[in-house]
Structure formats: C-alpha cells, structure tokens
Structure 1
Amino acid sequence: MTVLAPSRPVDLMLPPRPSRLVPTLTAIAVGAVVLAAAAGLPIRWTDLASLPAQLLHYGALMFESPNWEKLPRALFETWRSISMAWIGAILCVLVSIPLGMLAAGNVGPVWLRLPLRGLFAVIRAVPEVIIALLLLTITGLTPFTGALALGIAGIGTQGKWVYETIESQQEGASEAVRAAGGGTAEVTRWALWPAAAPALLSFALYRFEINIRTSAVLGLVGAGGIGSMLANYTNFREWDTVGMLLIVVVAATMLMDAVSGAIRRRIMRGPGVRRPDRGLGAGAAGEKGAKGGRDVAGIR
C-alpha cells in the first residue's frame, strides 16, 4: 500500500499594497486651497456667534405680521416670472435638441460634433446673471431680457443632456434601420428619436423648474418679475412686505415643481394599463364568464 505524502502548499503571490501617496497629496492640496481661499477673504469669524440671533430677529420682522396689501401685485409679478421661465425653457429646447442631436457621437460627424460640444461648455461656464447683464444693453430692462437669458443659459446644459441621452440608446433599433437601407437621418428619425423622446421631454420640464428658481434671481438685476419687486422692497427695508413676497415665491415654486414633477413622471412611466373588467360588478363579471364558458362549450 502506497502512502501519499502531503502536498506542500503553493506559495500565493499577494498583490502589492496600494500606495496612499496620491490620495494623501490630493487631500493636502485641496486643504491648502481651502485655507488660502479663507485666509484671502476679509472674514470676521467672531460674527458667526451672532448669526443665529440676527436670523431670528429678521425672521420675526418678515414673518411675524406679513404685509398682504401688496399680494395682488406680487401674484402678477410671480406670473411674469413663470412666463419668463416658460418662454426661456421653450427657446432652450427648440435650439438645444437639434444641436444636441448633432453633437451626439452616433449622429454628427466629428468636425461638427467637437465645436458644438465646445460651444455647450462655454455657455455652461457663463452664469445666467452675466448673460442677463450683457443683454440689458440690447433689450433693456424688460422681462424679455430675462427670458432670453434663461433660454441662452439653458442651451449649454440642455444640449449636453441631449447628446448624452442619444449616445446612451441601444443600438438594436439603429442597426435595424441601417439594415433596411436607412442613412443617418432615417436612423435619427425612426430609431433614436422615438427612444429618447420621453427622457428629452422630461429634461425639458426639469429645465422649466430650474428657470422658475433662476427667474427670481434675474429680477435682482432688473430683468423684471418677482425678483425685481423683492429687490426693491429689500432695499427700502420693508421687511413685512419682503416676508410676504418670500411666502409667495416659495408657494409658487413648490406648486410648479409639483405639477412639473407629476407631468415628468407620467411621461417617463407612460399611461397606466386599465383592466377590461374594471368597473363591472360581480354579477356582470360572472355573467360574462358564464357566457364565455357556454360559447367555449358550444365550440367543442
């Protein structure tokens, strides 16, 4: 009888321990930048101790007894801000969807795709307030200035969403259209657009929600709307009216967010499926089932 000797364990090659040098240096560099930025600003850190008391003081001035006499005008200016946001969103969508589709890697050529992506990046780098200040010299202190600023500023972000959505679509439908002899235009129309349309419409509504918030900020630079009214009464230090305006802004923004969110969910999920027998009583459903059973028995 042969006795087998126990096999020797094989020496395992353990991977080298990862170096922590790069993350450590990165953390040190970020910390140094933060400290340099804080040291370069004229900040009195002792004022932080009095900040809660100041917030309570001005909160009481604004919300203890709001001045509701200016409510009709506040509602009108809020409607102006919503109108600016809606027009800006429409302008943004009308321009960004075709340009964004041309910037997609599976649609546009490289000589067109790269300049469009660079244009979107440049627009995203400029805040809406700066665009509004540049447009003030051309269109003046009107709500149309705010709508144009919102529309132009949204092209950068919306265009990026469009070409990323187009590039993320499955290739099955596109390959089927190409196999049938379709070119780039046919692939875009019959394969990419039907698949990406719900997401793009959802993004358009989300852009509208962003514009509602931004329109109040644009009013601070004279673009009209509830922001201009809020800036004026803040400068005059009429805190009871400022409190009423803040309540109106928050309520209108929350209402528009809820409506837009419900529409976006309906677009992404689609309509619900209704059961054929829903709404029939127990007797009607039973009679229908019995009739179906008799028909089947007759066929047999």
Structure 2
Amino acid sequence: MTATLTPAPPVLDLPRPPSRRRETIAAIVAGAVILVSAATLDAGWARLLDLPRASWEYAVLMFQNPDWSKLWRALFEMWRSISMAWLGALLCVVLSVPLGMFAAHGVGPAWLRHGLRAVFAVIRAVPEVIIALILLTVTGLTPFTGALALGIAGIGTQGKWVYETIESLHDGAAEAVRASGGGRIAVARWALWPAALPSLMSFALYRFEINIRTSAVLGLVGAGGIGSMLSNYTNYREWSTVGMLLIVVVIATMLIDAASGALRRRIMEGARARGVDRIR
C-alpha cells in the first residue's frame, strides 16, 4: 500500500493593505490647528450658556411691538438696497462672462487663462466690505459705492463659475466648428455660448440673490440702503424699529428668492408644453 503525498497549498503573495498614513497625519494636524485656535481665541466661552436667554430677551424687545411708523422709509431704503444689488449683479455679469470664457481651457491662450484665473482668485480672497471701504475714499458714502463693491467682488466667483461651466460642456459642437475651419472666437460664439447660456443666466440670477443679502451688510459701513438704517437704529438701541426693519428685510429677501428661484428653474428646465400637467 503506497502513501500519497498531499501537495502543499500555494503561497499567495497578497498585496499589502494601502497605507493611510497621510490621511491620519492630515487629520491630526487639522485637529491640532482647531484645538490651538480655540485655546488661543480670546472669547468668553462661559457666556455662550447665557446666549439663549439674551437672544430671547432681544427678540422680545424687537418683535413684541414693532414700530411701523417708519415703514415707508424702510421700504424706500430696501428698494435702494435692491437697486444696489441689481446694478452690482449687472456689472459683475457684463465683466465676468467674457473674462470667464477666455479663462476656460480651449478658448483663451495659456498665458491669458492662467492670468485671469489668478485675478479671480485674488478678488475672491477680498471680502465685499473691504472693497467697499476702499471705494468709500473715492466715491463717498453713496449706494453707488455699494453697487461697485458688489460688482467687483462678484467677478471672482462669477468668473470661476463661467469657465467651469464652459469646461464642463461636451466637445461635439466645438469640434464641429473647428472641423469647419473656425477659430477660438468662432468656437466660443457658435458652440460654447449657446450651450452655456442657460447655466450662465441661472448663475446671474443667483448672483443677484447673493447681492441682496450682502447689500444689507454693506450698508453697515455707510454704503446706503436698509443696512445703514439698521446700523443707525441699532446704535441708538431703538429695538422696536430694528424689529420692523428686520421683518422688512426678511420678507423682501424671501419674495425675491422665490421669484428668482422660479426664473432659474424655468431657464434650466424650459417651458412645459401646455396640457402636460393635465394629462398627468
């Protein structure tokens, strides 16, 4: 009777598990930065416990009995803020759309593309309030200063949205224009612009929504509008008037957001055929 030898199982050369050393080090560094920032920040953390009570106290002062005697002036100042936001959005779109298109890959040359992107990054790094403070020395305490600040500050973000939208488009139409002998300008005009127009219009309306909120902040530094009125009455501790102003700001902002959102949905989705909803 002969014994049969069982072959030894093959030794599998399994790959080593991926190293997560970089992620671990990055998480430790981020946690250390947060802890050091919280420890060195000169803030009264104990006063946070009193925040709910103080918030309720000021809410009662502002909204228990709002002073509606200055409603018409508040509506006028709100209209100035809306005008400021609209002019700033127009200035931003007019400048950022062509610049953003030249910053897109395949449209502008490399030196111009990188230069424009650097300019957009620098503008995004400067808050609207700082731009308004710089412009105040030239244009004075007027709503036009706020409109200029909103327009200049929005170019950085709007330009980034434009070139990212252009670069996300399909290359079929652009290749067809190039195959027919078209240059960069022809590609941008006949292939990229029609395809990107709905998204760019939606971004322009969104920029207007952002400017509505920011215009109230710019009023705090003297740029005019409802923000200046809020700042003045807050300094004088007239909380009933401040409450009325906040109600006006909230209602106006919500109405504009609803109208702008409906327009943006109409632009992106297109008009529905009549009778479709009835059939459904």
TM-score range for the pair, normalised by the shorter chain length: over 0.9
CA distance in 2 between partners of 1:46 and 1:232 (Å) = 30
In the alignment, what sits opposite 2:124? 124
In the other structure, the counterpart of 1:282 is: none
Aligned residues: 274
Q: TM-score, normalised by structure 2?
A: 0.93
Residues 7/204 of structure 1: CA separation in 2 closer, same or farther (3 Å cut): farther
How far 1:12 sits from its partner (Å)? 4.2
- The whole-number CA distance in structure 1 between the counterparts of 2:146 and 2:7 is 80
1:1-300 matches, within 5 Å, as 11-274=11-274
Could you report, residue by residue, the CA deviation over 1:16-48 in whole angstroms, capped at 9, with x for unpaired residues?
A: 122232222212211211122122222222211
The one-character-per-residue Cα deviations of 1:246-282 (angstroms, maximum 9, x if unpaired) are: 1111111111000000000000011112359x89xxx
Radius of gyration: which is bigger? 1
**2:208 is matched by which residue type in structure 1?**
F
CA distance in 1, matches of 2:8, 2:105: 56
Instruction: Quote the Cα distance in structure 1 between the aligned partners of 2:60 and 2:203.
Output: 39
Q: Which 4+ stretches in 1 moved above 4 angstroms? A: 5-12
Deviation at 1:223, TM superposition (A): 0.1
- 1:223-254: per-residue Cα shift (whole Å, max 9, x none)? 00000000000000011111111111111111
Residue type at the aligned position of 2:52: P
Of the structure 1 ranges 7-16 and 192-201, higher mean CA displacement relative to structure 2 is found in 7-16
The amino acid across from 1:240 in the alignment is S
Of 20-29 and 213-222, more deviation after overlay is shown by 20-29
AA partner of residue 228 (structure 1): S
RMSD, aligned CA: 1.8
What code does the residue aligned with 1:45 have?
W
Distance 1:232 1:153 in 2: 25
Moved more, 180-189 or 123-132: 180-189
Q: What is the alpha-carbon distance in structure 1 between the residues aligned to residue 187 and residue 117 of structure 2?
A: 21
Q: Which amino acid aligns with 2:172?
A: G
Gaps spanning 5+ residues in structure 2: where? none
* Displacement after TM superposition at 1:6 (Å): 9.7
Mean alpha-carbon deviation: is it higher for 76-85 or for 177-186? 177-186
Counterpart of 2:220 in 1: which secondary structure?
Answer: helix
**Structure 1 unaligned residues grouped into runs of 5+:** 280-300
Q: State the one-letter code of the partner of 1:38.
A: A
In structure 2, give the amino acid aligned to 1:258.
Answer: A
Q: Give the residue type in structure 2 aligned to 1:107.
A: V
Structure 2 distance, partners of 1:32, 1:91, is 43
- Secondary structure of the 1:66 match is coil
| Amino acid across the alignment from 1:268 | M
